[in-house]
Structure 1
Amino acid sequence: MSKDPAPIVTSGYVPGCIGRIAELHAHYYCAHAGFGVYFESKVARELGAFCENYLPQRDGLWLVMRDGSIEGSLAIDGTHAETQGAHLRWFILSDRLRGTGFGNQLLARALEFARDQDYHRITLWTLRRLEAARHLYLKFGFTLVEEIIGHQWGHEVVEQRYELVNR
């Protein structure tokens, strides 16, 4: 009986990653937050623009690959790092990789990249109900700096902004 290859973390764009990352987000957020087509298309549009304008000295994209399939992602968007801080985005893992330590690996790589780029502030937006993600953000030193009630996703949700300040 052959064993599935172990997942690995790679960096940078690979063909199909925009669609696959959007798909992972769509499935997860539909099941856990009731989000629909607006959310999925927004993820695809913004991720596509990020990949088109990607500069390796400014931006980072990490993918968890398993047997040729993308099973997770995380990005650092440095476009507005000087004025608004770097933006941690598109952090997702497939159901089969959640709880396996790959979230820790992705965050560690992203934050190491941010330190190497001398990004003094990293921000991210998430939903209050995502406890596992919140636990990781707090573990890595992020603090909750803002909560708002959002309606853009089709129903009311509590959105949270976290921030990490590197000194």
Structure 2
Amino acid sequence: MDITHEFCPGAIGQIIQMHGVHYAEHWGFTSYFEAKVAHQIAKFTQDKQDTDLVLIARDDQGVAASLILDLHDPESDDRGAHLRWFICADRCRGTGMGRKLMSLAVAHAEAHSNGKMWLTTFAGLEPALHLYRSFGFVLHAENEGDVWGTVVNEQEYHRAGNN
């Protein structure tokens, strides 16, 4: 499996599709969520700066995993780099690919945001939550909400970094 740092042709669409299909099948999310991912990743792609990090794992079937570290998200304030669109296809779950991408992202954050990072997720994604916690992320806030178009216990995790 090859990891690239750029969006190759078709990668954005595959990342959107992976999110849409996975969260519809496993969590009942609707096309609202897929459209939101599409809108947000398109905006990121247009505004991407050199210090932002794009990690795309590819195999012979296309995109197998993605992780984006947005260092310029205007919503970040003092929370540091925003970890976004982290997903692994079923075919690479349990292979260590997620941990490898997280390791690269944390190293990038150490170099560019003093290690400070944040992400939004929701309760119930235990394998992902376990991974986040293993990299020093701590639950900062939790509220029931429907920001993704489906009511879930939305969570925000922060990683303090090297203060």
Same fold (TM over 0.5): yes
**Distance in 2 between the 1:50 and 1:16 partners?**
16
**Runs of 5+ in structure 1 lacking a partner?**
1-6
Pairing partner for 1:125 from 110, 120, 136: 120
- Structure 1's 155 and 148: CA in aligned 2 closer, same or farther, altered over 3 A? same
Contact 2:36 2:148 in 1 (8 A): no
SS at 1:158 equivalent? strand
Following TM superposition, by how much is the alpha carbon of 1:68 offset from its aligned partner in structure 2, in angstroms? 6.0
**Distance in 1 between the 2:79 and 2:50 partners?**
19
Identity percentage over the alignment? 38
Following TM superposition, by how much is the alpha carbon of 1:120 offset from its aligned partner in structure 2, in angstroms? 4.4
1:38 is matched with 32
Give per-residue Cα distances to partners, 1:116-144, cap 9 Å, x unaligned.
Answer: 11344210011111000001001111111
Amino acid at match of 2:47: N
2:92 is matched with 97
**Runs of 5+ in structure 2 lacking a partner?**
none
Pairing partner for 1:138 from 133, 136, 150: 133
2:107 is matched with 112
SS at 1:14 equivalent? coil
1:21 is matched with 15
Give per-residue Cα distances to partners, 1:92-130, cap 9 Å, x unaligned.
Answer: 010111111000000000111111113442100111110
1:149 is matched with 144
Amino acid at match of 1:34: G
Q: Which range moved further: 155-164 or 87-96? A: 155-164
Amino acid at match of 2:55: W
TM-score, normalised via structure 2 length: 0.92
Pairing partner for 2:53 from 47, 50, 60: 60
Paired residue total: 160
Q: Which range moved further: 91-100 or 144-153? A: 144-153
- Structure 1's 69 and 163: CA in aligned 2 closer, same or farther, altered over 3 A? same
Pairing partner for 1:162 from 135, 140, 157: 157
Pairing partner for 2:71 from 78, 97, 102: 78
Contact 1:86 1:119 in 2 (8 A): no
